[in-house]
Amino acid sequence: MSATRGPDGGSDATPEAGSSRFAIEILGVQKHYGKVLALRGVDLDIEPGEFIVLLGPSGCGKSTLLKIIAGLEDPTDGEVYIGGRLANYLRPGDRDVAMVFQNYALYPHMTVRDNLGFPLKMRHRAKDDVKRQVEAAASLLQLTTELDKYPDELSGGQRQRVALGRAIVREPLAFLMDEPLSNLDALLRVQMRSELLRLHKRVGRTTIYVTHDQVEAMTMADRVVVMRDGLIQQVGRPGEVYRRPANRFVATFVGSPPMNMLEGALRTVDGSRRFEGPAGLDFPEAARLDLPDGELTVGIRPEGLTVVGPSDPAGVAAQVELVETVGADAYLTATVGAGATVTIRVEAETSPGEGEQIHIRVAPGAARLFDAAGDRLPLPGERG
Amino acid sequence: MFLGPMFGFFVVFLVIPVVGTLWWSTRLGGIATGTTSAGLNNFLRLPGLVGATVAIQNTLVFALLSVPLILVGALGIALVLARVGRGASGYRFLVYFPVLVPGVVAALIWLFLTNVDFGLFNEVLRLFGAKPVTWLGSGSALVVLALLDVWRNVGYWAIFFVAAIIGLPQELYQAAGLDGASGPARFRYLTLPLLRRILLFAVVVSTIWGLQVFDTALVLTNGGPGTSTTTIIYRVWQYVFGSNDKVGVAAAISLVLIVAILSLTVVQMRLLRARRGGD
Amino acid sequence: MSQLVGTDLRRASAGDQRIVAGHVRAEHRRRRLAGAGRHLILGLVTFVLVAPFYYVVLASLKNGTEIFSYPPKLLPIPPYLGNYHKLLFETGFPRWMFNTLLVAGSVTAIKVVIDSMAGYALAKLDLTGKRAIFLAMLILLMVPLGALIVPLWAMASALGITNTYLALILPPLANPLGVFLMRQFILGLPNDLENAGRLDGLSEFAIYRKIVLPLIKPGLVVLAVIIFTDQFMSFIWPLIATSSDNLQVLTVGVAALRSHGGADYGLWSAAAVMSLVPIGLFFFALQRQFLARSLAGALKQ
């Protein structure tokens, strides 16, 4: 059903309603539960066909946002547009979105075939049509041999695929996935991740994926939306978010082991500006910043610190406390100067041992600077 | 032993009497006056014995009337009650209250309601200008008895179903909503199948209860008018303690009842083993 | 809905925006109506279920002529207490109530003990023939005392205990429902607790008394409530088992009013009301436990 322009004919600039550039738009959405603020003003535009991941810790509002898009909850304020149409008052079934639940929500008293066909049956599609769609989805998800089984006869991975299938048969405008992989064991999770991506490339529909696992987000997303306490912290491609985090929270949440954070201050000493960090770690770049004196935090990822020889002028002494080897990498936990601890990534083969004294320096360009409020400061030369 | 005392009572007062009923059903005479063996005579006589067949018939009709009404009503109430937020506990209390009323007292209350002159039912009819009805007349007494039972028991099952409905996983309903299922569709394809086991249980149990009707029949209508509300247990009581002294026949009818109850119990046990109840 | 459904609000004219806002309001109104509708239905249902009680209370406070008057008085002013007076002083009502409370109380007390013991045995102990016993109890669970009148009466006569409290108290002890309930409850307790007790050298009975019992207290309360109410309402067996006036229980006595006394409606309604008082209070105080009875049944599935 397509709406037309307003009674005044609209201006040339008014697009045909229902044909927005974006698949889903979220404007100023807020959600309170009594005194609890689950979402505090969220704006987001989702491109058609993209795989966008809502990432954040528990309670950040990502699942709430998903449910609001689905229509399972109403926003306290704000608007949701699906396919260019205002969806606020539309029932979930009328919104043309399909959802994959964390616990799959398969109908336990129906066979896989009936589960898959249910959405189509509810929309009164012809029986042959339903049969065709169901079998197509089944073959796509390798469920053809399970069609006549019941959910409790299936493994976790299979159930998940049925849940996916049920969403796929509807050919909706967008898929909404609420932590679908978190109930699977680690190995299965990795497998399903690539399967989901494969599926997405084939089917190509807009997908909104909610997770608290940043590895999932980084590996699967076209774009990542990092959320915390009901607000969006940053939106961008995974590489963006990783290399240029918008604030301290994003910087430490994304990436494992987390980014090292070193507190320091920008001061003017003898007319020249210096950054004074722990144990004398210096960041000449900081001095070039056009900022008043004040507190400054420097963030460096473990791979941004390198072990150097004692004679390196930029090197700083550190004491290795702990060595954790993970495959070909080793992560050193070391104390620098007056009690600051950092994590350093080195090759496992050449790794220093525990208790050793080493020297480390910051790789050029690896430092990220954060002001007192936690937002990242663009370095000169950066596009920000 | 732990099990001892309970099991002891169980055997003495349940198992032995069941066997005892079997024995008595092969006797002729009265308890006080002594009995002689009669083999299976009593059973053979049963179909011909009007008193017995009427009782069985009445009881069946009664169950057929009351059980569906009770369960449909209870399910309806439960569906609404499950979704109501405020005042839910108040409604639950009120709905359940008639369940606590002893049958005798309930019958007394209904004697009031159905009284031709000042009964509530006729008062209401009069309010609408209709003519007063003889509720306990020979055609309608059994129906009124069934309605009484519905009034008494609907609350029990309503609460029972509410508990079951609330136990159903919410996510399934969310998924169904997204799949485009309307309210009635959700009921038909989701609620009903998921409640199948519970409903079957309810049907069997309430039928078994229905077959035992006695106290209300006694107090409300004394088995009448005529024999229109004479139920199985009522007839048994008459045979044993009334002037009839037909112990054997009474036992035979009791046995029929026991067998009916046992078969229903077994049927239920089998049905509950059936899969895909949606647990 | 008009063709303006789904109009993009930000770019629509003010007029369109108002129309869409109207749709939003309509949706909210629809939901409120649904809620109100539910209350309406429930209100109607509860009215139908509860109105008879009010009617009877009314009648109990009217004297003979008032009862028959039309249109009926809806408020009992001034209340006529003659019915109650008659009930309490000229019939055996107080005795009946006493008997019922005594019998129901005894049965409850005894059954709480033996049922929980049996439930514990079935749940946790290894016994030969346990399955057979369990099955036997399950099958005969639903056979009521009413179907066993003939042999029970014969048995009672033979034992010479007809017309005694014993006859009223003993047979109801046979019902296995309580055992199943207790077994269900006890099954829910983790085995480790008793194993710890065994390791500590406690005897089985001590384990039962000190570990299991305290943990199933809520279950015991539910059980007590169920047994008490069942006994309170039981009719057939007490009717048969006792013949003398001072052993009548409440239900039997009240039924006797109907058959012996002629149509004294005032008295009857007073009897009805007075019968309901103890149970009503009991229920009000212990609502949760009563409703737990149904939950327990549902859980049994």
Residues B5, C118: C-beta atoms closer than 8 Å: yes
Question: Considering only alpha carbons, which residue of chain A is nearest residue B170?
Answer: A105
Q: What is the DSSP string of A34-48?
A: TTEEEEEEEEEEE-T
Give the position of tokens 């920008």.
A266
pLDDT at position A295 is 77
Tokens of A293: 């004196």
**CA distance linking residue C160 with residue B273, whole number of Å:** 45
- Using N-to-C axis directions, what is the helix angle for B50-83 and B196-211, rounded to 10°? 140
Element at A227 (helix H, strand E): strand A223-228
Of A91, A101, A123, the CB nearest to B175: A101
Q: Are A352 and A269 in contact (CB under 8 A)?
A: no
Per CB distance under 8 Å, which residues of A are interface residues toward C? 1-4, 6-8, 10, 13-15, 17-18, 20, 27, 79, 81, 84-86, 88-89
Residues C15, A89: C-beta atoms closer than 8 Å: no
Instruction: Tell me what the pLDDT averaged over chain B comes to.
Output: 83
Element at A273 (helix H, strand E): strand A272-276
Q: Which residues of C touch A2 (CB under 8 A)?
A: 6
Q: Which residues of C touch B103 (CB under 8 A)?
A: 233, 235, 251
Question: Considering only alpha carbons, which residue of chain A is nearest residue B177?
Answer: A93
Q: Are A133 and A170 in contact (CB under 8 A)?
A: no
What band does A9 get if pLDDT is binned at 50, 70 and 90? very low
Closest approach of A112 to chain B, Cα-based (Å): 13
Question: Considering only alpha carbons, which residue of chain C is nearest residue B81?
Answer: C42
Handedness of CA A310, A313, A314, A317 (dihedral sign): positive
Q: Does C6 touch chain A (CB under 8 A)?
A: yes
One-letter amino acid of B230: T
Q: How many CB atoms lie within 10 A of CB B195?
A: 23
Residues C5, A85: C-beta atoms closer than 8 Å: yes
pLDDT at position A309 is 81
Q: How far is CA A99 from CA A205, B206, C17, C43, in A?
A: 13, 41, 29, 37
Q: Does A26 touch chain B (CB under 8 A)?
A: no
Residues A109, B181: C-beta atoms closer than 8 Å: no
pLDDT in tens, B161-180: 988 898 888 899 999 999 88
Residues C301, B197: C-beta atoms closer than 8 Å: yes
One-letter amino acid of C79: P
Q: pLDDT > 70: what percent of chain B?
A: 92
Closest approach of A2 to chain C, Cα-based (Å): 8
Indicate the SS3 state at residue B214: coil
Q: Does A166 touch chain B (CB under 8 A)?
A: yes
pLDDT at position B76 is 92
Closest approach of C141 to chain B, Cα-based (Å): 9
Interface residue of C8, C10, C25, C32 to substitute, partner A, most A CBs within 10 Å: C8
Q: Compare A314 and C273 and report the one with higher pLDDT.
A: C273
Give the position of tokens 């925006």.
C17
Per CB distance under 8 Å, which residues of B are interface residues toward A? 169, 171-172, 174-182, 185, 189-190, 193-194, 196, 276-279
Chain B, 206 to 265: residues with Cβ < 8 Å from chain C are 208, 212, 214-215, 218-219, 222, 233, 236-237, 240-241, 247, 250-251, 254, 257-258, 261-262, 264-265
Of A8, A84, A88, the CB nearest to C24: A88
Q: Which residues of A touch C3 (CB under 8 A)?
A: 1, 3-4
Closest approach of B249 to chain C, Cα-based (Å): 10
Nearest one of B171, A67, B10, A239 to C179, comparing CA atoms: B10
Of A3, A84, A89, the CB nearest to C4: A3
pLDDT at position A286 is 61
**CA distance linking residue A276 with residue A272, whole number of Å:** 12
Q: Which residues make Cβ contacts (< 8 Å) with residue A51, sequence separation at least 6?
A: A197, A200, A207, A209, A220, A221, A222, A223
**CA distance linking residue C48 with residue B95, whole number of Å:** 9
Question: Considering only alpha carbons, which residue of chain C is nearest residue A91?
Answer: C27
- Using N-to-C axis directions, what is the helix angle for A127-140 and A112-122, rounded to 10°? 130
Q: What is chain A's Cα-based Rg? A: 26
Residue A119, phi-psi category: left (phi > 0), alpha (psi -120 to 50), beta (remainder): alpha
Residues A170, B179: C-beta atoms closer than 8 Å: yes
Q: How many CB atoms lie within 10 A of CB A310?
A: 9
Handedness of CA A236, A237, A242, A244 (dihedral sign): negative
pLDDT at position A16 is 35
**How far, rounded to the nearest angstrom, does the alpha carbon of residue A382 sit from its chain's CA centroid?**
24
**CA distance linking residue A177 with residue B238, whole number of Å:** 69
Q: Compare B44 and C217 and report the one with higher pLDDT.
A: C217
**CA distance linking residue A246 with residue A236, whole number of Å:** 10
pLDDT(B278) > 60: no
Of C7, C24, C26, the CB nearest to A17: C7
Rounded to 5°, the CA angle A344-A346-A347 comes to 165
Q: How many CB atoms lie within 10 A of CB B168?
A: 15
- Segments of chain B assigned E as strands: 27-30, 34-37
**Half-sphere exposure of A384 toward its Cβ, with a 13 Å CA cutoff?**
2
Handedness of CA C16, C20, C25, C27 (dihedral sign): positive
pLDDT in tens, A199-245: 899 888 999 999 999 899 999 999 999 999 999 999 999 998 998 88
Residues C152, B17: C-beta atoms closer than 8 Å: yes
Q: Which residues of C touch B104 (CB under 8 A)?
A: 235, 251-252, 254-255
Greatest CA separation found in chain B?
A: 74
Indicate the SS3 state at residue A207: strand
**CA distance linking residue C241 with residue C253, whole number of Å:** 13
Chain A, 51 to 70: residues with Cβ < 8 Å from chain B are 70
Q: Which residues make Cβ contacts (< 8 Å) with residue C251, sequence separation at least 6?
A: B102, B103, B104, B105, B215, C100, C233, C234, C235, C238, C239
One-letter amino acid of A287: A
Beta bridge partners of C53: none
Please confirm whether the linkage preceding A15 is cis (ω < 30° from 0).
no
**CA distance linking residue A260 with residue A252, whole number of Å:** 8
Indicate the SS3 state at residue A290: coil
What band does A4 get if pLDDT is binned at 50, 70 and 90? very low
Element at A369 (helix H, strand E): strand A368-370
- How much is the average pLDDT of A314-343? 84
Q: Are A78 and A42 in contact (CB under 8 A)?
A: yes
pLDDT at position B147 is 92
Q: pLDDT > 90: what percent of chain A?
A: 26
pLDDT at position A100 is 93
Element at B69 (helix H, strand E): helix B50-83
pLDDT in tens, A179-197: 998 888 888 889 889 889 9
pLDDT at position B75 is 93
Q: How many residues belong to chain A?
A: 384
Handedness of CA A256, A262, A263, A267 (dihedral sign): negative
pLDDT profile of chain C (301 residues), mean per 10 = 41 58 79 86 88 83 69 67 77 84 90 86 78 84 84 80 80 86 82 79 76 81 86 87 80 82 77 85 71 58 45
- Give me the total of CB pairs closer than 8 Å, taking one residue from chain A and one from chain B: 66
Q: Are B219 and B107 in contact (CB under 8 A)?
A: yes
Beta bridge partners of A44: A26
Interface residue of B172, B174, B178, B276 to substitute, partner A, most A CBs within 10 Å: B178
**CA distance linking residue C192 with residue C174, whole number of Å:** 32
Q: Which residues of A touch C9 (CB under 8 A)?
A: 79, 86
**CA distance linking residue A133 with residue B224, whole number of Å:** 64
**CA distance linking residue B166 with residue B161, whole number of Å:** 8
Q: What is the DSSP string of chain C?
A: --TTTT--GGGS-HHHHHHHHHHHHHHHHHHHHHHHHHHHHHHHHHHHHHHHHHHHHHHHTS-HHHHH-SSPPSS-SSPP-HHHHHHHHHSSHHHHHHHHHHHHHHHHHHHHHHHHHHHHHHHH---TTHHHHHHHHHHHTT--GGGGHHHHHHHHHHHT-TTSHHHHHSGGGG-THHHHHHHHHHHTS-HHHHHHHHHTT--HHHIIIIIIHHHTHHHHHHHHHHHHHHHHH--HHHHHH--SGGG--HHHHHHHHHHHS-S-HHHHHHHHHHHHHHHHHHHHHTHHHHHHHHHHHHHH-
Of C229, C236, C298, the CB nearest to B163: C298
Nearest one of B266, A293, B96 to C284, comparing CA atoms: B96
**CA distance linking residue B116 with residue B139, whole number of Å:** 15
Q: Are A216 and A182 in contact (CB under 8 A)?
A: no
pLDDT(A281) > 70: no
Of A2, A15, A85, the CB nearest to C11: A15
Closest approach of A285 to chain B, Cα-based (Å): 53
**CA distance linking residue B109 with residue B132, whole number of Å:** 18
DSSP B14: I
Q: Does A108 touch chain B (CB under 8 A)?
A: yes
pLDDT(A259) > 60: yes
Closest approach of A62 to chain C, Cα-based (Å): 25
One-letter amino acid of A100: V
pLDDT in tens, A41-72: 899 999 899 999 999 998 888 999 999 999 99
Chain C, 7 to 66: residues with Cβ < 8 Å from chain A are 7-13, 15-16, 20, 23-24, 26-27
- Give me the total of CB pairs closer than 8 Å, taking one residue from chain B and one from chain C: 271
Tokens of B229: 């509300």
Of A93, A108, A150, the CB nearest to B179: A93
Tokens of C275: 């019968």
Closest approach of C30 to chain A, Cα-based (Å): 11
**Which subunits sit against A, judged by 3+ Cβ pairs under 8 A?**
B, C
> Complex ipTM above 0.90?
no
One-letter amino acid of A155: S
Q: Which residues of A touch C13 (CB under 8 A)?
A: 6-8, 10
**CA distance linking residue A261 with residue A265, whole number of Å:** 13
